[in-house]
Amino acid sequence: MSRLSSGGFIDRSRIVKFSFDGKSYSGHPGDTLASALIANDVKLVGRSFKYHRPRGILTAGSEEPNALVSLRKGARHEPNTRATMVELFDGLEAFPQNVTPSLSFDVMAVNQLISRFIGAGFYYKTFMWPASFWEKLYEPIVRGSAGLGTTPNVPDPDHYEKASAFCDVLVIGAGPTGLMAALTAARSGARVILADEDYLIGGRLNSEKVTIGDRDGAQFSAAVAAELVAMPNVKVMSRTTVFGVYDDSYGAVERVSDHLAVPAPYQPRQRLWRIAAKHTVLAAGAIDRPIVFDGNDRPGIMLAQGVQTYINRFAAAPARRMAFFTSSDGAWVAAFDAADAGVEIAAIVDARRTVADRLLAEARRRNIRTLLGGAVTAAHGSPLKSVDVVADGKRERLAVDGLAMSGGYSPNVQLACHHRGRPQWHPEIGALLATDPPPRMKLAGAANGSYALSACLADGAAQGAEAAVAAGFAAKTVALPRCQDDPVEVQAYWHVKDTAHFAFVDFQTDVSVKDIEIAAKEGFIPVEHLKRYTALGMGADQGKLSNFNGLAIMADITGRSIPEAGTTIYRPPYTPVSMGALTGHHRAKDFRPTRLTPTHFWAKRLGAKFVETGMWLRAQYFPRPGDKDWLATVQREVTAVRSSVGMIDVSTFGKIDLQGPDVGKLLDRVYVNTYSTLPVGKARYGVMLREDGMVMDDGTTAHLSDDHWVMTTTTVNAVKVFSHLEFCLQVLWPDLDVRMASISEQWAQIALAGPNARKVLEKIVDDPAAVANEALPVMGAKEAKLMGGIAGRVFRLSFSGELGFEVAVPARHGEKLAEAMMAAGKEFGITPYGTEALAMMRIEKGHVSGPELNGQTTVADLGLGKMASKKKDYIGRVLFERPDLTDENRLGYVGIVPVDKRNVLRAGTHLMPLGAAVAVANDHGFVSSATQSPTFGHAVGVGFLAGGAKRIGEKMRAYDPLRGGDFEVEICSPYFYDPQGERTRV
């Protein structure tokens, strides 16, 4: 056991059992999976992506590139979690990834032997030829070796939420800088959100031994966090990663239940936050950079900050005997902490020739050997057994089982680059800093290159105050606590020259120095090319640890400075975000809302089958015992309507209430036909165009009283037509005096159709005389009292081709209306019908619908050209008159019947001249809608044919390769049923 006997922020009174790679271990509450593995002496945690090299834990943070593990089994299985971010819970099962077949023995490690052949650009060079090898050989190889981990193949049982938050000041990162920024802004009265990815507030204060005022770092952060939590204007969000900066908002994910085996009842697994902040302080800290040397990826090699965190925060020693390899003062302090915890320090190797006397004195006091101007040139063993060190020309091998490294700090500027601000090189601290952050974001503390604790506290307080003032608050000064600073000098150091093959730059994508040399040799020199050619920085860590070293090495190779070599920017997300969180509740049936018609439950009681039409759930047909299949049901419904009476809910049509003296004028301008002359008490069918001359929508509009009209639109275009009318009224013709409101949801509307429709209607309206043939003629519209005083509307409209009425009542009476119609129609055998019978009858009747109003048809194409007024302007008129849109050989509306009446006609079937070969050149048109008509006893269809009605009587070949149809059809008028409309007038 490498658990230290004391210290750390773990609850030693409780034991947490977990397993990794099938073996059982124990840890304590407060541990991460990584710290518990270290405490259990587990050094090997995974295999690398390309070469299957054994890898250990490199860091203690979200930048971890190596320790990617899968968690849990079954539906909650989750690949690619970073062991450094996984809070330990009882019963946690974790598994290594990319191991074939096992972590300790991996056959794919043979890739290391052929590594000289599978370096950068390998895919592009190898899988080029012969082309026939691609599908059978290359693609399976590439797919088989790509990706890490596996996704579960059963649905996620947990749910995810989305939420919004608003604040004056958003502080990202709850280390010393962020705590002071939040405290200062909060005491000034600003609404503050403090977000941190960790579950323990304090950042590096929990990892370093510091004194602030009269408290240690952890006590200080706990006290500030407690004050913040108690303030009503502050929201402290731990376990929350701000992952992206968008336009005027931040994306964040809160891991509500990731630290539990199963979320608590009614709790989500994760919550996606959209945070709108007036001002932001980015206090995300800085992370150690690895040094590139031969074997720098061996298990047992760790970044110095990580070593310090495991020792101080988790009381887990990563090794018994360690060397430190650095060019940064911070690693010396980490070495002192390790030594004080009982780890034997073989040497501190510093690339710098001089370091602060303070550090040398501290090292001497602990009898730690120091090698200045030195380097580690190679590491051996897996796990690590020794390192080769060179200093002052002397080489030696140190027997160690741990090595800590730090080539300086990389400030966490990622979020500051999300608006394309490119970080700039600052040689004085050897780091890239964000100089062009997104609007209203300021960086502070280590994220901005200020590493000393006192500077972080002061910078945080200053930026917190500035943000509060910018948000309109008077800043309250917060007394800065005294503290003693550890030395923080750094010199950027990234590459031990003349290293052999396995000197890794990017641990996650297995990019080595050799790969960068290949890229340079082959001309992929600009940093964006380097990245794509080698996959540098393209892992899930987005190159947090590798981008700088990669571009610095490329700069060395090409003899340029770092600014000349260029820098890359970062994009969201800062760390990977689960698809579940992004999806939230919007999955499966909850992907979008379901709209129910006013008669939905009535139809359900009658056993209706439903169909989704857009968001609506509509009754599709009403099966009865004895119906052979759905087609028999639908044909029975149609026959019932044609012979007696049927009813259907048509509430889903868009309904728009229009009022004002200029409604007629508006309608004249949006419809091709004229409305201003339509008398009160009448309705008219109209077609409206887009300005490009194509048909947009159709429907009927009724004139109810002088200044009052009600328009219907098709179901799918209800929203579009409404906003179109708003555009017309507000932008095109603001002088028109018209008010409008959508009443689609407010009115239930049921169509009654069939020879007995009036007899049913008479029993529902309070005054039967009002619906007599003369009182309510074809296309008549009037307000009427129904079912004992309910104010409704009755329209004499027919979509079926039979005598028809549409009855509208306030939506709350919809079900009552349906019941009343059923009762009144009982003696006539009234039959409820659904959308299938509706469609069947409209095809028999030749009415155009969705498949015909497809956005590519003109009013003339639809056979409705005569409706278009020549006497007035309307939207779309000018462009509708373009020569190509009035060409008489355009696809025009026709009817189609099979010559052999046994054939089934299907929508989508192509129309070709008889005997013509199957070729695009012979494609003259297509069937847009077809049905098995019970009225005619055979298939009837409508569609579009070049030349249109001119070709009525012609025989053609109907070719449907998808469903195997190929037979002769005759072109006819599309108005199959009662073309003169006599049945509607009785």
Q: Which residues bind another protein (CB under 8 A)?
A: 246-249, 276, 419, 439, 691-692, 719, 723, 726-727, 730-732, 734, 873, 877-879, 881-882
Nearer to another protein, 349 or 738 (CB): 738
**Shortest Å distance, C-beta 363 to another protein:** 51
**Shortest Å distance, C-beta 664 to another protein:** 19
Q: How far apart are CA 125 and CA 780, in angstroms?
A: 75
| 426, β-bridge pairs | 431
> What is residue 730's DSSP assignment?
I
**Shortest Å distance, C-beta 257 to another protein:** 27
Q: How far apart are CA 336 and CA 320, in angstroms?
A: 14
Q: Taking Cα atoms as reference points, which of 50, 58, 618 lies closest to residue 288?
A: 58
Nearer to another protein, 15 or 878 (CB): 878
**Shortest Å distance, C-beta 731 to another protein:** 4
Please state the separation of Cα 471 from the chain's center in Å.
Answer: 31
Q: Could you tell me if 333 and 486 are in contact, meaning their C-beta atoms sit under 8 angstroms apart?
A: yes
Please state the separation of Cα 832 from the chain's center in Å.
Answer: 42
Nearer to another protein, 342 or 439 (CB): 439
Q: Taking Cα atoms as reference points, which of 410, 744, 729, 446 lies closest to residue 598?
A: 744
Please state the separation of Cα 488 from the chain's center in Å.
Answer: 41
Nearer to another protein, 74 or 734 (CB): 734
Q: How far apart are CA 784 and CA 772, in angstroms?
A: 13
For residue 669 the two structure tokens come to 């301008």
Nearer to another protein, 611 or 732 (CB): 732
Please state the separation of Cα 328 from the chain's center in Å.
Answer: 40
**Shortest Å distance, C-beta 732 to another protein:** 6
Q: How far apart are CA 558 and CA 519, in angstroms?
A: 11
Nearer to another protein, 24 or 730 (CB): 730
Mind giving me the DSSP string for 166-220? EEEEEEE--SHHHHHHHHHHHHTT--EEEE-SSSSTTGGGGTS--EETTEEHHHH
Query: At CB < 8 A and 24+ separation, what contacts does 853-858 make?
Result: 853/695, 853/696, 853/697, 853/698, 853/714, 854/928, 855/694, 855/695, 856/694, 857/694, 857/695, 857/891, 857/944, 858/689, 858/693, 858/694, 858/695, 858/885, 858/886, 858/890
Q: DSSP H helical segments within 606-698, as ranges?
A: 630-643, 663-670
Nearer to another protein, 438 or 846 (CB): 438
CA angle (230 as vertex; 229, 231 as ends), nearest 5 = 95
Nearer to another protein, 733 or 936 (CB): 733
Nearer to another protein, 465 or 729 (CB): 729
**Shortest Å distance, C-beta 248 to another protein:** 4
Q: Taking Cα atoms as reference points, which of 255, 161, 156 lies closest to residue 586?
A: 161
Nearer to another protein, 741 or 918 (CB): 741
CA angle (539 as vertex; 533, 544 as ends), nearest 5 = 105
The count of other CB atoms within 10 Å of the CB of residue 500 is: 13
**Shortest Å distance, C-beta 595 to another protein:** 16
> What is residue 328's DSSP assignment?
B
**Shortest Å distance, C-beta 276 to another protein:** 7
**Shortest Å distance, C-beta 467 to another protein:** 18
Q: How far is CA 884 from CA 332, 632, 922, in A?
A: 80, 44, 20
**Shortest Å distance, C-beta 170 to another protein:** 15
**Shortest Å distance, C-beta 737 to another protein:** 9
> SS3 for 42?
coil
**Shortest Å distance, C-beta 946 to another protein:** 24
The count of other CB atoms within 10 Å of the CB of residue 248 is: 12
> SS3 for 161?
strand
Nearer to another protein, 395 or 882 (CB): 882
CA angle (843 as vertex; 686, 973 as ends), nearest 5 = 85
Nearer to another protein, 529 or 877 (CB): 877
Nearer to another protein, 173 or 437 (CB): 437
**Shortest Å distance, C-beta 278 to another protein:** 11
**Shortest Å distance, C-beta 845 to another protein:** 34
Nearer to another protein, 885 or 912 (CB): 885
Q: How far apart are CA 861 and CA 952, in angstroms?
A: 15
Nearer to another protein, 591 or 727 (CB): 727
| 794, β-bridge pairs | 782, 807
**Shortest Å distance, C-beta 729 to another protein:** 8
